[in-house]
């Protein structure tokens, strides 16, 4: 069965990469559910101003009850869901020696459990209709494994495992499941993390930091969210139908897997 361009859900789309994914999927013809713990009005307004359809849904992706309710609310407001982009995620720098169980659980709760909960909420409808696209946002840190982010790397690596496992189970029903592993992308989260973890609260050196990191890549400029949207567009489309269980690294050629 082919997609009739119904709804697409993008978690964590009030800003950053998620907002860019939401805007791209709206351009591609989907009605977009802008899901975030923060106010998603700006993203919704930009989509509507460009002629697209979007609704904002407030949801804490770490809450099983809230995500179950989200599954019902999206269908009520936007109809059946063709595409789920599991993008909501958090990054904190922390050496393993200083890592508490709470820090570990906070990363797992959003980056991995939240992804599981969203798949539980939206995959059944996709299977029923015999078409669906699940796109999980991982990270190239799984392949580079830099120090100081064990909880992040473990949670993002878990998302790659979940991607492979679900691809095996959902493929027979026409649902593909893939992951995108970006490298550093210029977003507010990374700006805050830079200031907090490396620059004593001062974000003024962020541009230089991004440019310096990009020197590790084959393509020696830093990425913006728009550098990742094309992959989301492709993986959400009909043409990606034989691609499933894959992790596509999008980092200017830093990690080579
Ligand atoms: N920016 C990067 O360099 C980079 C690199 C690799 C992977 N990623 C991944 O891409 C995704 C987006 O990152 P970003 O840089 O755009 O971050 P961001 O902080 O700009 O966006 C993340 C969004 O998730 C939302 N969010 C946080 N907690 C939530 C919760 N409990 N429930 C619902 N929404 C919640 C935030 O409000 C925010 O709008 C994350 O999964 C991140 O790990 C980012």
Nearest CA to ligand 1 atom 29: 37
Q: What's the pLDDT band for 5 if we cut at 50, 70, 90?
A: confident
Q: Which of 87, 89, 162, 229 is the pocket-test mutation for ligand 1 (most atoms within 8 Å of CB)?
A: 89
Q: Which atom of ligand 1 is nearest to the CA of 152?
A: 43
Q: Which of 22, 34, 159, 189 is the pocket-test mutation for ligand 1 (most atoms within 8 Å of CB)?
A: 189
122: tokens are: 């939206």
Q: How many A from CA of 202 to the centre of ligand 1? A: 21
257 contact partners, CB below 8 Å, separation of at least 6: 143, 247, 249
Q: How many A from CA of 139 to the centre of ligand 1? A: 11
What is the rounded distance in angstroms from the CA atom of residue 24 to the CA atom of residue 190? 21
Q: What pLDDT, in 10s, does the model give residues 115-154? A: 999 999 999 999 999 999 999 999 999 999 999 999 999 9
Helices (H), the chain: 16-27, 41-49, 64-78, 101-108, 114-129, 141-144, 150-170, 188-198, 206-214, 226-236
Give me the residues paired with residue 11 across strands.
35
Among positive and negative, which fits the CA dihedral 156, 176, 230, 252?
positive
Q: Which atom of ligand 1 is nearest to the CA of 38?
A: 37
Question: What is the reported pLDDT for 4?
Answer: 61
What is the rounded distance in angstroms from the CA atom of residue 120 to the CA atom of residue 78? 18
What is the rounded distance in angstroms from the CA atom of residue 103 to the CA atom of residue 96? 10
Q: How many A from CA of 218 to the centre of ligand 1? A: 25
Q: What pLDDT, in 10s, does the model give residues 22-35? A: 999 999 999 999 99
**What DSSP character marks residue 113?**
I
Q: What pLDDT, in 10s, does the model give residues 56-65? A: 999 999 999 9
With a cut of 90, say whether residue 214 has pLDDT above it. yes
**Homologous superfamily of 7-185+225-249 in CATH?**
NAD(P)-binding Rossmann-like Domain (3.40.50.720)
Among positive and negative, which fits the CA dihedral 69, 73, 76, 82?
negative
Specify the domain boundaries for CATH 3.40.50.720 within the chain: 7-185+225-249
**Residues 141 and 208 sit within 8 Å (Cβ to Cβ):** no
What is the rounded distance in angstroms from the CA atom of residue 141 to the CA atom of residue 254? 10
Q: What's the pLDDT band for 257 if we cut at 50, 70, 90?
A: confident
Q: How many A from CA of 189 to the centre of ligand 1? A: 7
What is the rounded distance in angstroms from the CA atom of residue 110 to the CA atom of residue 136? 13
With a cut of 70, say whether residue 221 has pLDDT above it. yes
Q: Which of 11, 14, 16 is the pocket-test mutation for ligand 1 (most atoms within 8 Å of CB)?
A: 16
Tabulate helix, strand, coil % of the chain (nearest 5).
50, 15, 30
138: tokens are: 């991982």
């Amino acid at each position: 069965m082919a997609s009739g361009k119904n709804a697409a859900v993008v978690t964590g789309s009030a800003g950053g990469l998620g907002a860019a994914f939401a805007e791209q999927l709206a351009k591609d013809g989907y009605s977009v559910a802008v899901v975030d713990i923060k106010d998603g009005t700006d993203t919704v307004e930009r989509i509507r101003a460009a002629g697209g359809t979007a609704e904002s849904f407030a949801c804490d992706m770490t809450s099983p009850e809230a995500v179950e309710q989200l599954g019902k609310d999206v269908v009520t407001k936007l109809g059946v869901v063709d595409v789920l982009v599991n993008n909501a995620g958090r990054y904190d720098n922390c050496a393993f020696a200083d890592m508490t169980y709470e820090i570990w659980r906070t990363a797992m709760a959003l980056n991995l459990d939240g992804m599981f909960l969203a798949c539980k909420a939206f995959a059944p409808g996709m299977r029923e209709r015999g078409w669906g696209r699940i796109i999980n946002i991982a990270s190239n840190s799984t392949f580079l494994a830099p120090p100081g982010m064990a909880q992040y790397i473990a949670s993002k690596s878990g998302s790659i495992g979940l991607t492979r496992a679900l691809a095996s189970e959902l493929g027979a029903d026409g649902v593909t499941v893939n992951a995108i592993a970006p490298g550093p992308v210029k977003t507010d989260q990374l700006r805050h993390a830079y200031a907090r973890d490396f620059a004593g609260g001062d974000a003024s050196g962020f541009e230089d930091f991004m440019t310096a990191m990009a020197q590790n890549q084959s393509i020696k400029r830093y990425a913006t969210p728009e550098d990742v949207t094309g992959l989301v567009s492709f993986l959400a489309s009909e043409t990606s139908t034989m691609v499933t269980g894959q992790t596509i690294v999008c980092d200017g050629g830093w990690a080579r897997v």
